[in-house]
Amino acid sequence: MAMAEKTSDAAPQAQAVGMPALHKVIFGVLLAGLIVLPFFVYPVFAMKVMCFALFAAAFNLLLGFGGLLSFGHAAYFGGASYISAHAAKVWGLTPELSVLCGAAAAGVLGLVIGSLAIRRQGIYFAMVTLAFAQMVYFVALQAEFTGGEDGIQSVPRGDLFGLIPLADNMALYFFVLAVTFGGILLLYRIVHSPFGQVLKAIRENEPRAISLGYDVNRYKLIVFTLSAVMSGVAGATKAQVFQLASLTDVHWSMSGEVVLMTLLGGMGTVFGPLVGAGIIVTMQNYLATFGAWVTVIQGVIFVVGVLMFREGIIGVLARWFKRSL
Amino acid sequence: MEIALQATGLTKEFKGFVAVNNVDLSIEKGTIHALIGPNGAGKTTCFNLLTKFLQPTRGTIKYEGRDITRMKPAEIARLGMVRSFQISAIFPDLTVLQNVRVALQRGRGESYDFWRSDKILSRFDDRARAFIDEVGLTEFTDERAAALPYGRKRALEIATTLALSPDMLLLDEPMAGMGREDVERISKLIQKIAENRTVLMVEHNLSVVADLSDRITVLARGEILAEGTYDEISKAPEVIEAYIGASHD
């Protein structure tokens, strides 16, 4: 939204309260599209896209609205996937409780790491988050319950609320749709709340926000934790989908990937991270036959993206249409 | 005489360099007090000490009789002592209305409620508009703050500050980099807002504060050189000397 506001002429409708009609329409179309999607594409692929869309949106909350670049978000995404896999497999919890466990663990991790990281700014902030994420990776590699190189495999899908079996991809799909879409709407609300308003003020001018009497570190810590929780929801849900928690999800390259998705789609926009996640996951999926070249192709797209449209795809569209997207 | 802000023996050292040395300062309630001095006199350091953006090496600061030496900047803001910045301190990507509203939002305490819609903030709109009118920015209400001309940004900053209804304002070079027209407009604005408040302003330029301030303190090399009304200050030989060689812009 920051990008969009920067470029729109701040027409009076920018003052309209609540969700603008345009956003309502886009969310509506998106939901309708997602409901019919599994009848046309492989549901597991669609679920993967949704999980990453939520992950990128959660990351965007921190980067685009909090102005904080974390380079360790894999810790929350992957950490939660391990906890949720463990909860489902070893503790035998239902899927929704497993996801909640993962999210709670990510929240605690975010609270601890965040409280240390927010004491530093800019590149040092990024380095601190990266360092902690590497520690989480090391734990995932060495600890007993994580299964080391193997990860946690063949996680049972269980019954939703102990009633509805999710073994079927279609049933699982609608569970994942509800979780991710709900998560994205919650993130939208956070951005458009009294809290979100102060957050934007801090991003825009931190010393000024302090001089107005705001305890900015508290806001930063809250947004960091919220972002970690929602990243955790994404990672925990992904573990349920693939019945697997693996080192890939806690690896630093995962932290990089979410940065890429967010920047490609448009940081600080509402719909950018969703588009970015869609593009990256689709590419990885359909270009998988190229093997290691996927990374090279991704790199090229990123370079072209940064050179041609620095505001990201949705950021550019928002500028063209003079609308906040 | 009632004192709003009082500093005693204020000292700030940076690795062997003394930026502010043993400064005693009393600001009377309801007056406009100016802190002036040539470049490098320690005005900004002194200002940052008083507003708690820097921690003094030695000395105490009292606001309305209360020791604020160890307080955090956000805390003193909540006590009613609000500062401005040398560079215009606005939120560039927010509209003029939103800028002022962020300050009014302080009225509800901290805004940690991330689950609530920002619709509830619209109840501050009318008061925000009143402050915007007061500084003459009515036509820019829905404009992005970054799009305002420089002088208008300062006016917006003052409107935002006023929205906190502070008892004391600390202005860091409010007229820096302004054209003559803007200087006059902001001077009038400062006079208007000082009617029922205490104002401490840091300025580089003696002539700007001449008509505006009740009392002037001149700093040079981190120490107080002179203090008094404009007439007393402008005749003091040590002040004239300090300004010779220093820039006259």
Check residue A52 and give its pLDDT.
97
End-to-end alpha carbon distance in chain A: 6
Is residue B38 situated within a structural domain? yes
Beta strand residue intervals within B68-125, DSSP E: 81-83
Rounded CA gap, A287 and A302, in Å?
A: 16
pLDDT tens, residue by residue, A21-60: 899 999 999 999 999 999 999 999 999 999 999 999 999 9
Beta strand residue intervals within chain A, DSSP E: 159-160, 164-165
Touching check for A270 and chain B: CB below 8 Å?
A: no
Check residue A299 and give its pLDDT.
83
Query: Is CATH 1.10.260 what the domain over A2-321 is classified as, yes or no?
Result: no
Touching check for B115 and chain A: CB below 8 Å?
A: yes
Do B61 and B5 touch, CB atoms closer than 8 A?
A: yes
Delimit the domains of chain A by residue range.
Answer: 2-321
C-alpha distance from B142 to closest chain A C-alpha (Å): 6
Count the domains in chain B. 1
Rounded CA gap, B88 and B157, in Å?
A: 7
Q: Do the Cβ atoms of B106 and A213 come within 8 Å?
A: yes
- Residue position matching structure tokens 């160890």: B70
CATH number at residue B117: 3.40.50.300
Q: Do the Cβ atoms of A194 and B118 come within 8 Å?
A: yes
Sign of CA dihedral A12, B85, A269, A308: positive
Mean pLDDT estimate for chain B: 86
Touching check for A222 and chain B: CB below 8 Å?
A: yes
Q: Do the Cβ atoms of B84 and A200 come within 8 Å?
A: no
Is residue B248 situated within a structural domain? no
Touching check for A190 and chain B: CB below 8 Å?
A: yes
Task: Please give the angle made by the CA atoms of B190, B140 and A21, to the nearest 5 degrees.
Answer: 140
Rounded CA gap, A102 and B55, in Å?
A: 42
| Residue A60: how many other CB atoms lie within 10 Å | 29
Q: Do the Cβ atoms of A11 and B142 come within 8 Å?
A: yes
| Residue A172: how many other CB atoms lie within 10 Å | 23
Touching check for A197 and chain B: CB below 8 Å?
A: yes
C-alpha distance from B73 to closest chain A C-alpha (Å): 6
> Is this complex scored with an ipTM above 0.85?
no
pLDDT tens, residue by residue, B61-104: 999 989 999 999 888 888 888 888 777 789 999 999 999 999 99
- Residue position matching structure tokens 């001309």: B149
More confident position, B192 or A272: A272
Q: Do the Cβ atoms of B95 and A198 come within 8 Å?
A: no
Closest to A210 in 3D by CA, of B25, B56, B81: B81
| Residue A182: how many other CB atoms lie within 10 Å | 12
Rounded CA gap, A325 and B133, in Å?
A: 31
pTM of structure: 0.83
β pairing state of A159-160 and A164-165: antiparallel
* Domain boundaries, position B136: 3-243
pLDDT tens, residue by residue, A236-278: 999 999 999 999 999 999 999 999 999 999 999 999 999 999 9
Do A109 and A225 touch, CB atoms closer than 8 A?
A: no
Confidence grade of residue B249 (pLDDT, cut at 50, 70, 90): very low
Q: Do the Cβ atoms of A192 and B78 come within 8 Å?
A: no
Is residue B249 situated within a structural domain? no
Touching check for B120 and chain A: CB below 8 Å?
A: yes
Residues of chain A with pLDDT under 50: 1-16
Rounded CA gap, B181 and B38, in Å?
A: 24
Which letter does DSSP use for residue A284 in this model? H
Is residue B33 situated within a structural domain? yes
